[in-house]
A and B are shown apart, each in its own frame.
Chain A
Amino acid sequence: MGRICCKEEVCIGCRLCEVWCQVEHSESRDIIKAFLYEKERAIPRVRVEERGPVSFALQCRHCEEPDCVFACISGALYKKDGVVVHDASKCVGCWSCVLACPYGAIIMDEAHGKAWKCDLCEGRGVPICVEKCPNEALEVEHNGV
């Protein structure tokens, strides 16, 4: 597919992308249920970095030569049709990918010993953060695959 890009000057730092990412990766995919009733809230795979007036959302860049995949000791990370995929059921939380990712785009879930990253909302078409960003700061940059 491609990767999600954020226009820094358009991002307003509202963090709705994080919220919707959580919803999309929750069990119910329903915002009320996801935040109110589910045993545990899903971990967002996008993160908004903010400092003073500057903010931007950062997701996995789905690198052409993905350092995280080379480093992953379990085979949980692999590349398929241009998308860098993470199979959480194989992940052991060794954090090798955390050291390898040049952007700091891997999210550590220390409580469960799992890494998480953007999966481009596999199967959804348009990633939910792109769809829900109120200021249209996010867009999918296609790479032709």
Chain B
Amino acid sequence: MECEYLIIGNSAGGIGATEAIREVDREGELIMVSEESYRAYSRALIPYYLAGEIELEKVYYRNVDFYARNNIRVISGKKAVAIDFDNKEVEMEDGQRIRYGELLLATGSTPFIPPMEGLSYDYTGGKFDKDGVFTFTSLDDAVEIKRSVESGYVENAVVLGGGRIGLMAAEALMRLGLNVTVIKRSERLLPEVFDETASRMVKRHLKESGLLMLTGHTVKEVMGERSVERIVLDDGTEIGCDLLIIAAGVRPRVELVRGTEVKVNRGIVVDGRMRTSVEDVYACGDCAEVYDFAYDDFRLTPLWATAYAGGRIAGFNMCGVEKEYRWGTNMNSMHFFGLPVIAAGVSAEEGGYEVLKEVEEEKKIYRKIVLREGRVVGVILMNKIERAGLFLCFMRRGIDVSPFKEELLSADFALISLPEVLRGAMMR
């Protein structure tokens, strides 16, 4: 088989790329390969599906006819196992070889499973050796967890990991009526983006919402014959549980290129045009270290938006339209039991920056703007987030906000708060 464009991974990054390619080149043969057998769905929607907020049908990211309309051939339910860069060929698990002109690696990430006694995980098959233990990164995971909860035999759930994915899983399980305990190693919530204040305020909100969280602990052992029955913490505490979700973070999925000419750091190394160190090979999304404009550096930024936008830039470059990816940073939009929180850029750090803050603990309002030389480099907003986009826009465009600095913390900060000239320039 042969094609002009070959994309490994049929998710945010892959779809971002195909949509860009099809804006430029309607004809060039385009193949997407995906190990998962579903059509593209949003990984970020599986908590909503698990909680019963949306039907399975709504998890899909694009319409059923997306591939046909865009003249895309999809090979799904099959894994790519090797790449021959000299002959520009990808080998599939069934031995099929696909020749490519341009290749995009949009292979995403895999869950990280911390070592624990009494539990082992087969990374290739994605299975634990005990029933009732799950990861929470795929639609299959969500479907299986849902089935297990619906069986009626599950009452007590433990979520290992208090990051964004763990907290979303915990909230969904609580909505399904389970008793949920979150075990979290670090005291600070989302330490990448939250400071002490944001962490404390969200923790308090979680507690008030009925979530039990044990911080400063790890799981030492998982007990139970065939399925999980109890877990043992590092201090010996035992917690009974019949459902265990491991959400201890994700790692870039780089096995296809590990040990090849493609340079890999923590993720696949790319340049501003999403090109890897091998010609005609690109990477984007969770598997790559992409440019972060707030840090002015290449970093892992495992988010839907950055995967899509990075894929888009890769797609343009793959069909000869030169574009630089300067779009993303660690930009999080979250909600915890109804409390909306935004954290983007250099939002956790303070040393060496000018920091503007407004805290109303009781009302759960927090606004923090981090400035460097009059430019916004980070932001946290809790409640009243509706104009958050303005801050990201200032960050992205490096706008000097010092002339209207005192407005930034105002709860009704909006376009009208800007000097007329700047507003005019932004609206054009």
Q: CB within 8 Å of B: which residues of A? A: 8, 49-51, 54-56, 58, 61, 67, 70-71, 73-75, 89-90, 92-96, 98-108, 110
Spot the interface stretch: B130-138, B195-203, B358-366, B413-421: B413-421
**Cβ of A47 to closest chain B Cβ, rounded Å:** 8
Task: Count A/B pairs, Cβ under 8 Å.
Answer: 109
Determine if B416 and A95 form an interchain contact, defined as CB atoms under 8 angstroms apart.
Answer: no
Interface string of B50-84 (1 = CB under 8 A from A): 00011000101110000000000000000000000
Q: Is the CB of B58 within 8 A of A94?
A: no
Complex contacts, B61 vs chain A, CB 8 Å: 74-75
Q: Which of B308, B335, B416 contacts A49 (CB 8 A)?
A: B416
B414 engages A98 (CB within 8 Å):
no
Q: Among A51, A106, A110, which residue has its beta carbon within 8 angstroms of that of B389?
A: A106
The 7 A-B residue pairs with the shortest CB-CB distance in the complex, in nearest-first order: A102-B393, A104-B387, A49-B416, A71-B305, A73-B44, A101-B389, A75-B61
- Is the C-beta of B142 less than 8 angstroms from some C-beta in chain A? no
Contact (A51, B417) CB under 8 Å given A92-B54, A103-B426: yes
A137 to chain B, nearest CB (A): 14
A58-B416 Cα distance, complex, nearest whole Å: 10
Whether B333 lies near A70 (C-beta < 8 A) is no
Tell me the nearest residue of chain B to A52, going by C-beta: B416
Residues of A within 8 A of B392 (CB): 99-100, 102
Contacting pair B62 A103 (CB below 8 A) = no
Contacts of B420 in A (CB 8 A): 8, 54
Contact of B386 (CB < 8 Å), options: A61, A89, A96, A98: A98
Q: B250 to chain A: closest CB distance in Å?
A: 16
B390 touches A102 (CB 8 A): yes
Residue contact B386 to A107, C-beta cutoff 8 Å:
yes
* CB contact under 8 A between A104 and B390, given known A94-B335, A99-B331, A99-B344: yes
Closest B residue to A68 by CB, please name it.
B389
- Is B390 within 8 A of A103, CB to CB? yes
A104 touches B386 (CB 8 A): yes
Given A75-B62, A98-B385: A104 in contact with B342 (beta carbons within 8 A): no
Contacts of A98 in B (CB 8 A): 333, 342, 385-386, 388-389
B218 interfacial by beta-carbon distance below 8 Å: no
Given known contacts A70-B312, A96-B304, is B414 in contact with A49 (CB within 8 Å)?
Answer: yes
* Chain A residues in 8 Å Cβ range of B340: 95, 108, 110
Contact residues in B for A101 (Cβ distance below 8 Å): 389
How many Å lie between the Cα of A75 and that of B57 in the bound state? 12
B98 at interface, CB cutoff 8 A: no
